Amino acid sequence: MRRSAIVAVLALFTTMPALARTPGAYIASAAKATEVVSVRADLQALYDEISQAGFQFSSATDVDLFHEVLYTSDWTFIDAAGQPRAWQDVREEVIQSVKTRPYTSMIQAVEKLSLVNGGASVDVSVTTVRKIVDKQGRSGHAGETRTLVEKTMFRDAWVNANGQWKLQTRQQIGQPRVVIEKGNPTA
């Protein structure tokens, strides 16, 4: 029998007497774990949708409609310095970003999820990838194309109203980690 299987069997037998005494606690714990897994799957799907949506937008109207569906009306972004910014303050930046498409991919991965009253608190890592031309040769020869990978951590507050998840707050946790990878020289 493999060591991991033995450990699992021993863990089961050592917890069985406790489970026999407190079946209600075990059932409640199992139900809570199932709820966390379900919410995590739901929110990860929404993060995937948000990440891909930027590639499909073609107008300010697209951005506004998307924001109306997935974000609360009082949505707030809190930067790494702790400064809050309302949607009205960042809307134009988002629209310009959609027009210029600064990244080639975006992945948002749920790292940690905690259920809170009426919603969830989520630590999410956001990884963006974009191509840049190194005009000054800071990372090799001037004129070469580089791939810039940026990873930033955020803590998001989601609310669930009438069975619909909406993002209420995004708080940046620390500064982004940036890696520049070499690419092919531009023609």
8 Å CB contact between 152 and 106: no
Mean pLDDT throughout 152-165?
96
Other CB atoms within 10 Å distance of the CB of residue 157: 18
* Arithmetic mean of pLDDT, 144-152: 91
Distances in Å between the Cα of 134 and the Cα atoms of 3, 99, 102, 140, 177 are: 52, 22, 15, 8, 19
* Strand-pair category, 164-185 with 71-78: parallel
What's the rounded Cα separation, in Å, for the pair 2 and 10?
12
Residue 156: give its domain's CATH number: 3.10.450.50
pLDDT at 28: 58
Cα dihedral 77, 96, 187, 139, rounded to 10, equals: -30
Report the pLDDT value the prediction gives residue 9, as an integer from 0 to 100. Answer: 42
Q: Which two tokens stand for residue 8?
A: 């699992």
Neighbours of 57 (CB within 10 A): 19
* Structural domain for 173, as ranges: 3-185
What span, in angstroms and rounded, lies between the C-alpha atoms of 70 and 164? 9
pLDDT at 103: 83
Q: Residue 141's pLDDT is what?
A: 80
Residue 55 Cα to chain centre, angstroms: 17
DSSP conformation class of 101:
-
User: What is the per-residue pLDDT across 58-87, written as a single tens digit (0 to 9) for each?
Assistant: 889 999 999 999 999 999 999 999 999 999
- Number of domains making up the chain: 1
Of 80 and 134, the structure prediction assigns the larger pLDDT to 80
What pLDDT does 13 receive? 43
